[in-house]
A and B are shown apart, each in its own frame.
Chain A
Amino acid sequence: MSTSAPERVPDSITDGVTGRKISLLDWRAANVRSSYLLAFIMVLLLAAIGYLAALALRPAAAILFVGIAVVVAGVQSGVAYWLSDKIALASAGARKATLEEHRYLVNVTEAVAIGAGVPAPDIYVIDSSAPNAFATGRNPEHGAVAVTTGLLELLDRQELEGVVAHEMAHIRNYDILFLSMLAATVGAVILLRDLALRVMRFGGRRRGGGSGRGGGQAQLIAMVLLVVLLILAPVLATLLRLAVSRRREYLADATGAYITRNPEGLASALEKLRDYSGERLEASEGVRHMFFINPVQRLNASTVLATHPPLDERIGRLRRM
């Protein structure tokens, strides 16, 4: 029980970019809206790329290219929506926690879920001495939290509550839905780029003999646009995704502190994880952003390539609450 916790923990945070105060409760609605918007933009973007590709390469096949693009977008977001949780849990080697073996973890998680006002998530354990955790699930009804055995050994009850509350915040705020949609968008753009580059090379050879018509201006412009879009889109989308991911971590910290009414538990957990130097968690690039701290220590940093903000900054913000 967090008896020493302060009664008042802020229920809003100040947006670092605009300086406006944002209620933690409003984030959920904003996230759901943005997720649908993203899915829509993804379809639009892929259709545009498909159309340009068709225009630049083979006008007659425009419908086909757009069709492929839309199907790719649909499959990507469908997989992100329905399967991302199962993929993440499987690739992290997580196994379901049982009451007999992990009574303590189950109890802590159920208590925090009550405080967060969400159904108790499925609880998983990852056998690794590296302390870390992640959450997944497209909505609170399908939420799952996974923690490593190392985390259970390293943290005391209040610290564990803090970490679990941070993960619960990701679930409650629909961060996972939003981020997996964003990841799917980036993935689809990259896939389309590779596909188009291949077609371009193939198409280029075919036209190598030279049709005397000179192709026409429209085709040339489409070609230039396509190349720019294909080169820039994945880079921009990736940078956007990383920036969004970093902001979500601050938000989840703030929400976690609010749920437990105890910023110190979370701050102290982050401190222990910062000072930990032992076995590292093996996590593929696709899932690293999901964890409580990035398994690659140098990606908890203040660079554009980091998925998480610097640990010292996260600790500092919690302590200043």
Chain B
Amino acid sequence: MGTIIVLVVLGAIALFVVSIYNRIVQLENRFENAWSQIDVQLKRRTDLVPNLVETVKGYASHEKEVFEQVSTSRQAMMGAGNVAESAQAANMMTAALGRLFAVAEDYPDLKANENFRVLQEELSAVENKIAYARQFYNDAVLQYNNSIETIPGVFLANPMGKKEQVFLEIPETEREAPQVSFS
């Protein structure tokens, strides 16, 4: 009789531990998946850049400084190896593209170019998706951090080797980025 009770209690504890373990893994997968969402958009943006630069060059070839900045950020983007580097390069590119579009404002012919307009809509759509993906990522990270820093998850986090994740900052330049009208 006594053995049965002990076994039942042990079984219940084991089930409880398994459920906490699963919860942590689930939340970890969620923010990793959230990061891949951002990554997809960053790649798409990087792919759109050469086409955009070519189009703008056709009308404003002497704005070398801006092209340089965009090109540098693109190199950084493609060379980024981890989340922190990607995030930093992404912010650089956001700033550079913001300047490029600001410069484009001075060239009416460029703004009327159909190819440019499509690229502009695509790029601001990508920016928008990046913003949403980053928001979702931060939400997921918050949930994950909570799960490994509160009881009962905190007891498992160490043995599982789980560490607190950092949030993605929203760059200041992006807040000031010129709004494009689409109506």
Taking Cβ atoms with an 8 Å cutoff, the residues of A that contact B are 1-3, 103-104, 107-108, 110-112, 114-117, 156-157, 261
Contact = CB atoms under 8 A, between A and B. Distances in A.
Nearest to B132: A115
B125 A261 contact: no
25 contacts: A1-B127, A1-B131, A1-B174, A1-B177, A2-B131, A3-B174, A3-B177, A103-B118, A104-B121, A104-B182, A107-B121, A107-B122, A107-B125, A110-B125, A110-B129, A111-B125, A111-B128, A111-B129, A114-B37, A114-B129, A114-B132, A117-B136, A117-B139, A157-B182, A261-B135
Contacts of A110: 125, 129
Contacts of A157: 182
B34 interface: yes
B117 to A, nearest CB: 10
Interface-centre pick from B34, B127, B129 (highest chain A CB count, 10 A): B129
Contacts of B124: 1
Q: Which applies to chain B's interface (DSSP): helix, strand, loop or mixed?
A: helix
B121 A114 contact: no
A261 to B, nearest CB: 7
A107 B128 contact: yes
B148 interface: no
Contacts of A108: 125, 128
Given A1-B177, A3-B177, A157-B182, A103 B132 contact: no
A116 B132 CA distance: 8
B183 A156 contact: yes
Interface residues of B, number: 25
Given A1-B127, A110-B125, 15 more contacts: A1-B124, A1-B177, A3-B174, A3-B179, A103-B118, A104-B121, A107-B122, A108-B125, A111-B131, A114-B132, A115-B133, A115-B135, A117-B136, A117-B140, A157-B182
Contacts, number: 52
A156 B181 CA distance: 9
B175 interface: yes
Nearest to B33: A117
Contacts of B127: 1
Interface of B: 34, 37, 41, 118, 121-122, 124-125, 127-129, 131-133, 135-136, 139-140, 174-177, 179, 182-183
B121 A1 contact: no
A114 B133 contact: yes
Contacts of B132: 111-112, 114-115
Contact of B34 (A3, A111, A117, A156): A117
A108 B122 CA distance: 11
A117 B29 CA distance: 13
Contacts of A1: 124, 127-128, 131, 174, 177, 179
Contacts of B176: 3
A110 B124 CA distance: 13
Contacts of A261: 135
Contacts of A111: 125, 128-129, 131-132
A44 to B, nearest CB: 32
A259 to B, nearest CB: 8
Nearest to B41: A114
A111 B37 CA distance: 11
B182 to A, nearest CB: 6
A195 B22 CA distance: 50
Contacts of B174: 1, 3
A108 B121 CA distance: 11
B131 to A, nearest CB: 5
Nearest to B40: A114
